[in-house]
Structure 1
Amino acid sequence: MNRVPNPLIDELAADLSPVRPMKLAHGIALVALAVVGTILAVELLDGLWRGVLSGHASAFFFIANGMLGLLGVATALAVVRMAGPRVGNSHDGARWSLAMFAVLPVAALVMLGFHGDPHEVTHDPYGLDCFLAGSAFSVLAFAALVGWLRRGAPVSPTLAGTFTGIAAGALGSFAYGLACPIDTLSHLGIWHALPVALGALVGRLGVPPLVRW
């Protein structure tokens, strides 16, 4: 039986080229390098707070930064997985981490409302600087995650963008939080949480046009 040549198929096949497979470990390593680079940048530009090692940090310091770090890791892992969609790809870990983190700013607002002075937030001399610095230091993680998504094929660009912004904001705020000596609940629960909210908004609006396929 003779094979009938099909020039259309041959023409389409001629444009094909091998694609390097995306591995989960590579995406995790990329984010890890971004986080390490961010912490090094914080050390070079501002200097990490040595009070952590000398025992001067309060419990709020470890709780707030620990929650930021866990949120950043969980949502970044979700983004890495979303670049390669598959059946049963769940993001419950990221959602639960976000719900857990939301307790921090809510607790800060409740404490300010019942036992503190609301002006403690608006008159915080370091608050705006921490918000801006935490947001600025999220750029490296944001770029790493967007670059990874562009290599893949996320099914839901909007959700992927939101998680990207949350992860970048949390990791950036976590990195800068290691340099911030202000460890009160009101300061950490408001000004160190705001980069996460800003990141979620920027990611939701800005990432989808960059990763559509």
Structure 2
Amino acid sequence: MSETRLHDPLIDALAQDLSPVRPLPGPVRRACLWIAVVCLLGIGLAGFADLDRMWARLTATPDMTLAAIGAAGCAILAAIAAFISSVPGRSPWWAALPLPAAALWIGASGLGCLRTDLLPDSMVEPPSDGMHCLVFIVSFSLPLSALLVLMLRRACPLRPDLSALLIGLASASAAATLLNLFHPFDAAATDLAVHALAVGLVILLNRILGGRLLGVAS
């Protein structure tokens, strides 16, 4: 009897009680599910926002429109990159996918700061309201981050720290995009600094906490 035949009964015994495993959907499809949740959240928040005022503000200031597009694009691309880079065999360079959108977001916000310096009639956010933006971005980023962590844990990502960074970037960008519904002010240096602080804080928290959770899963 060959060695293969001797192993057959053992293999059959081990496989007898195994339940079939349903494969996960593709990474882009899973990212779209998370993006859909963000869109539903935005629709719900829109019911409490002054949409006419928001639309008038964005159409009157192209730099703020570009910044909003960049933030939304960064959220979408960072989520896609988080799922794709977690798949075994995929290059970690997928993490660079959201960088062009992030550059647009930062660059357009910087142009907005320059515009407010040149135009004295710009409506600049009072320093006291900066904390509201910080709380908004962090508060909405945390549940969005938790959802992404739960979705990525099922895939047992091989690069938990990289996945956690992308989760933080996607969640913070999504929260910053939603903030446009309630942010009637032009960009200013202090405003940009507060937003950068909020985004950085969310990314850091995900790097510390999310990386550990994903590391346990993998």
> TM-score band (shorter)?
0.7 to 0.9
Deviations 1:102-150 (A, max 9, x none): 44566678x59x979xxxx995232110121122122343133112211
Residues 177-196 of structure 1 correspond to what in structure 2 (within 5 A)?
Answer: 177-186=180-189, 188-196=191-199
- The match for 1:94 among 98, 122, 144 is 98
- The match for 2:27 among 24, 29, 42 is 24
User: Is the 8 Å Cα contact of residues 28 and 80 (structure 2) preserved in structure 1?
Assistant: no
- The match for 2:168 among 123, 140, 165 is 165
Higher RCO (C-alpha under 8 Å, 6+ residues apart): 1
1:67 corresponding residue in structure 2: 70
Structure 1 gaps, min length 5: none
What letter corresponds to residue 162 of structure 2 in structure 1?
L
Deviation at 1:32, TM superposition (A): 1.9
User: Is the 8 Å Cα contact of residues 63 and 112 (structure 2) preserved in structure 1?
Assistant: no
Count of aligned residue pairs for this structure pair: 207
Q: Distance in 2 between matches of 1:48 and 1:201?
A: 32
Normalising to structure 2: TM-score of the pair? 0.77
What letter corresponds to residue 81 of structure 1 in structure 2?
I
Q: Distance in 1 between matches of 2:180 and 2:55?
A: 14
2:61 corresponding residue in structure 1: 58
2:157 corresponding residue in structure 1: 154
Change (3 A) 1:166 1:94: same
Change (3 A) 1:190 1:67: farther
Normalising to structure 1: TM-score of the pair? 0.78
Deviation at 1:47, TM superposition (A): 1.6
User: Is the 8 Å Cα contact of residues 51 and 57 (structure 1) preserved in structure 2?
Assistant: no
Q: Distance in 1 between matches of 2:110 and 2:54?
A: 25
Change (3 A) 1:49 1:127: farther
Q: Distance in 2 between matches of 1:143 and 1:178?
A: 23
Q: Distance in 2 between matches of 1:14 and 1:145?
A: 34
Correspondence 1:139 to 2:142: yes
User: Is the 8 Å Cα contact of residues 69 and 105 (structure 2) preserved in structure 1?
Assistant: no
Change (3 A) 1:37 1:179: same
User: Is the 8 Å Cα contact of residues 77 and 97 (structure 2) preserved in structure 1?
Assistant: yes
Deviations 1:137-173 (A, max 9, x none): 2234313311221111322111110110111001011
Deviations 1:34-69 (A, max 9, x none): 21122134224x424422334664223212212211
Change (3 A) 1:13 1:188: farther
2:15 corresponding residue in structure 1: 13
